Structure 1
């Protein structure tokens, strides 16, 4: 990973710690209190052992000290538990907040952006990558503070007793972070590749799972199984690479910590034997002070060792933050929320309109047209002409340049919730939820049973629902797999008709239907369009009326517009389409 990008991501991660509230500070405070209790415990233990060994003092003389030692043991355990709990709570708050921000961002970007990536990759971002930030905030960040405070506290306690021991601690301490950095230099890249492999595997598996019937039909199931196996094997290799780095980092830290403690033990051993005579302040090296320093020595290196253990958490967090940062902070063009009230007229006017993608590419335009309130409009054109992009812009899911007004007010300035309340939307791929028929139709609206049955009758699906074992309470399977495409479309139509909006947006509603289902759906739509403005994307000319207004799009441009009866007599693509259909 580029170093400048890594620094930017680390800075972004640190900026998010305010979300954790006081829990990070509480975790550090409890760890510092634990360190003070450790120093006191080591001092008491060294003093008691020195008196017992050298002076032969009976144990009964040290009962107060022993009672304090016994009290410090559960106290330190409680402090350690509190520190872990506070760190976990800090990470939990962060993960909840980030997942909420990701969902809010995706809601603002809209379906057009979400469909640009595989469903599995979004699941990976929301679950796996956000989850990998837990240890960074719960352990790594508090440990960074403890690395400075705890060794300093121990040095302050050791230096007045023996400056040589203090120098050994001070001189050997930098070896651990030095080699930790050297070992961890490749950890960030390894974790980035690990997350990329996970995202590819999740997206690949989800897409193949959803298309399993098609794969079997074309005898590609075995080949795709091999592809998933290869992707899984790649992910296994990436995972093992990360684990190797983590184990190597721990081994290096343990080695240098052991060497440093061994130096102290050798120094005190030779000093007590009389072979070394320096480091003390004139009174010689005493057994009590030697025991005290040796008891504290492992704890002096422990924060550094724990930081090394959690260093891979930093690498994981940086790798996970790359995708999250680009989503949450990236320069993606999102329609800005407006606050203007909805005008009485829903007349639509576009002037030099350019519909843009979220990454700034022009999908349609420039185009100019006007749609009167209550007008029936059909949008024609080949695939890729920009028809769906235009509807996505009207839905507020895509940003635009130029002018797109509703009743004389710019769409971007309107209160989007009030605007969408006026829209009745039906696509060629209806999404049914895993809930009851009633909930799928009502979508949270306070509708009575009679109103729901009326909507089902209007959508020509009531007879089917009456035949279900539980009627309106029948739970539909995931993605509406328990009903046919035509039935799903008609249920979605009933849901759309439940709204009170005045603008009907239809994206090829009959594209995936059989002849009978298409006829029923189109008949219902014709009734629903009475008194409303209708924008219909269609490839079928036989569904049009002579008085329909036609917008013909091709290659991102508006090539023809006007009444169908007029365009049928003029030279142009609409007349050629009508001639081709008559020839068939």
Structure 2
């Protein structure tokens, strides 16, 4: 799907665009898709041979009294046809399943890339449970589209025409009855399809909301139990589940209604063929020079239900198409919707340039920055040069834009003006005020930065960040399990784990947002001393309010709230 929503497009244009997007998901599995379609069509074509064999046996054995040797040959043909149809059915199912798996994988890769492209600041404002549904329920919603709807759509076009031509060869009246009643099926599907798509979209929306609601409650389970809110939240989950039940029943009602009506039309059509043949045998209706033979009647009666079978299967899988379109709409809504700021065309946020002997590590020129959701700039006309091995303290009152500046330098926030130039090959690491910690051990959270890190290296960065200062008091040290979002830790302890995780990445430029906040003077002094040794030769830009941190830095960069400039000064 395109990166920009199309508010002016018609529903028909939107569906066409979404269908093109769905088709693009299986670009790598085109050969398997064609194989499934060919197998389905050939299997349908063999129905004609199967009906002919059965009709010949009845006509030849019971009416014409043909020798059993000839009947044995036809029995062999019938057995081969049945075996071939069984093999082709399995082949079509396997190929269609491979196509569906490829589509699910492609969808999840696209969603994952889009989530990464949205950036941490956008993700921070979303419900992780709802986004998780994009990779789970929405991926499963498109499976039936490729495994069921797509092969049957090809079968519906090819097989009924082949059957109608075969029937017309022996009795044109039966073929005319089939062709005249066939349009009732797609007409009814068009009427039902709109309601099915809307119902499917509402169901997916309700599933996403319930998934987000449930996941958020699981994350905060410790706090909910602590404050005695468990019963109230159970009632909320029950209400969300009831919404899913109502939406699901609405989808099922539409599916059952469409299947019932289609079965009715198909049954009436087959009954019309049987009535015509029966009246012809009784001599009450004659549209031919002579009455049809028993073999002709059996041939037509066997193929009449098979003529409508692809149409019925198509109708049964039509809700899969509706679910896939609804899933595409939901993916578009969750990933492309919203009111996040789209920057005007300016110079690239991160523009690498060739390394030079004395080139600065990072250069920021005339930056204008505005946090997501804000209605005014918090930093304007800001310039900064960071040299190799330089330690800078970024200071200023709360609200002056320190965190916003660090997010922009880390590449999280596009500037509204100016540019940020990073020397080629430089690795940047950012440790914010609210590091995200997952349910698991402290060591597991640290290894997110480097899963292959050894225990010795893990303890080394934990010592530098003063994590071991409190981890030694825990029952299992770094193997102690913490709650989601760092439940069970203080704010300062969570920040120290976030800092240790950053150090494990071994960046060339460290962007630190108040790493010494909430620390007692001795812990802060130990942290700054260890950090100075660990970052020797690296550059550090630290947002801080601490006098000790300012003395630790080589220079101070001051941001002034409500002004459009920044200044720097050397430390004593």
For normalisation by structure 2, the TM-score amounts to 0.85
Counterparts of 1:30-69 in structure 2, within 5 Å, are 30-57=39-66, 59-69=68-78
Instruction: Provide the rounded CA distance (Å) in 1 between the counterparts of 2:519 and 2:284.
Output: 96
The residue number in structure 2 matching 1:576 is none
The residue number in structure 2 matching 1:397 is 412
CA contact (8 A) 1:46 1:288 kept: yes
Shift of 1:322: 1.2
Shift of 1:392: 2.2
CA contact (8 A) 1:187 1:315 kept: yes
Q: Does 1:300 align with 2:307?
A: yes
Aligned length: 551
Question: Considering only aligned residues, what root-mean-square deviation do their CA atoms show, in Å?
Answer: 3.5
CA contact (8 A) 1:250 1:309 kept: yes
CA contact (8 A) 2:129 2:213 kept: yes
Instruction: Provide the rounded CA distance (Å) in 1 between the counterparts of 2:477 and 2:229.
Output: 39
Q: 1:154 to 1:360 in 2, by over 3 A?
A: farther
Q: Which runs of 5+ in 1 are unaligned?
A: 567-584
The residue number in structure 1 matching 2:295 is 288
Stretch moving more, 155-164 or 207-216: 207-216
Instruction: Provide the rounded CA distance (Å) in 2 between the counterparts of 1:260 and 1:342.
Output: 78
CA contact (8 A) 2:378 2:561 kept: no
Q: Does 1:484 align with 2:489?
A: yes
The residue number in structure 2 matching 1:116 is 125
Q: Does 1:368 align with 2:382?
A: yes
The one-character-per-residue Cα deviations of 1:166-214 (angstroms, maximum 9, x if unpaired) are 1111000010111122122211111111111111111112222222333
Q: 1:493 to 1:227 in 2, by over 3 A?
A: same
The residue number in structure 2 matching 1:458 is 464
The one-character-per-residue Cα deviations of 1:464-493 (angstroms, maximum 9, x if unpaired) are 666778777x47556486973455543433
SS of the residue corresponding to residue 136 of structure 2 reads helix
Shift of 1:33: 1.2
The one-character-per-residue Cα deviations of 1:286-345 (angstroms, maximum 9, x if unpaired) are 221111111011111111111100110011111100132456778985978866455642
The residue number in structure 1 matching 2:394 is 378
Stretch moving more, 321-330 or 373-382: 321-330
SS of the residue corresponding to residue 185 of structure 1 reads helix
Instruction: Provide the rounded CA distance (Å) in 2 between the counterparts of 1:64 and 1:478.
Output: 73
Shift of 1:147: 1.1
The residue number in structure 1 matching 2:6 is none
Instruction: Provide the rounded CA distance (Å) in 1 between the counterparts of 2:23 and 2:143.
Output: 13
SS of the residue corresponding to residue 264 of structure 2 reads helix
SS of the residue corresponding to residue 169 of structure 2 reads coil
Q: 1:64 to 1:238 in 2, by over 3 A?
A: same
Shift of 1:37: 1.5
Stretch moving more, 69-78 or 525-534: 525-534
Q: Which runs of 5+ in 2 are unaligned?
A: 1-9
CA contact (8 A) 2:100 2:143 kept: yes
CA contact (8 A) 1:23 1:89 kept: yes
Shift of 1:218: 4.0
Q: 1:92 to 1:213 in 2, by over 3 A?
A: same
Counterparts of 1:248-263 in structure 2, within 5 Å, are 248-263=257-272
Q: Does 1:97 align with 2:106?
A: yes
CA contact (8 A) 2:121 2:412 kept: yes
